[in-house]
Amino acid sequence: MWKVGLVGTGYWSVHHLNAWKQIEGVQVTALCNRSREKLERRAKEFDIPDSALYASLEEMCAREDIDIVDIVTGPETHLAFVETAAKAGKHIMCQKPFAATLDVAKAMVRIAEERGVRLMVTENWRWLQPNQIIKKAIDDGLLGRLYNARYVHTDYYTPRMAPGVELPQPFFREMPRLLFYEMGAHWFDTVRFLFGEPKRLYAELQRVSPHIAGEDSGVVTLGYDDNFFAVLDMSWATRRELEGKPPEQVGPMHREQMTIEGEKGTIKLYMNGRVSFIDAAGVESTLEAHTELDHAESHCRLQGHFIDCLNRGAPFQTRGEDNLKTLELIFATYESAATHDVIRFPRSGS
For the chain, report the end-to-end CA distance as a whole number of angstroms. Answer: 38
pLDDT of res. 243:
87
> Cβ–Cβ contacts within 10 Å for residue 190, how many?
24
- Residue 187: which of 234, 237, 251 has the closest Cα? 234
> According to the model, what pLDDT value does residue 231 have?
98
Tell me the pLDDT of the chain (350 aa) as tens digits: 999 999 999 889 999 999 999 999 999 999 999 999 999 999 999 999 999 999 999 999 999 999 999 999 999 999 999 999 999 999 999 999 999 999 999 999 999 999 999 999 999 999 999 999 999 999 999 999 999 999 999 999 999 999 999 999 999 999 999 999 999 999 999 999 999 999 999 999 999 999 999 999 999 999 999 899 999 999 999 999 998 999 999 999 889 999 999 999 999 999 999 999 999 999 999 999 999 999 999 999 999 999 999 999 999 999 999 999 999 999 999 999 999 999 999 987 65
**Predicted pLDDT at 200:** 98
Cis peptide before 252 (omega within 30 of 0): no
**N residues, the chain:** 350
pLDDT of residue 347: 85
pLDDT in tens, 82-118: 999 999 999 999 999 999 999 999 999 999 999 999 9
**Predicted pLDDT of residue 11:** 86
Q: What is the dihedral of CA 247, 251, 257, 258, to 10 degrees?
A: 180
Residue 175's CB: how many other CB atoms inside 10 A? 16
**Cβ-based neighbour number of residue 264 at 10 Å:** 12
Euclidean distance between CA atoms 337 and 214, whole angstroms: 13
Residue 97 neighbours by CB distance under 10 Å: 23
Contact 32, 58 (CB under 8 A): no
3-class DSSP state for residue 129? helix
Tell me: the pLDDT tens digits for 219-261?
Answer: 999 999 989 999 999 999 999 999 899 999 999 988 999 999 9
pLDDT of residue 349: 61
Do 151 and 230 meet the contact criterion of CB atoms below 8 Å apart?
yes
Report pLDDT for 294: 94
Q: What is the pLDDT of residue 47?
A: 95
> What's the pTM?
0.95
Residue type, 332: A
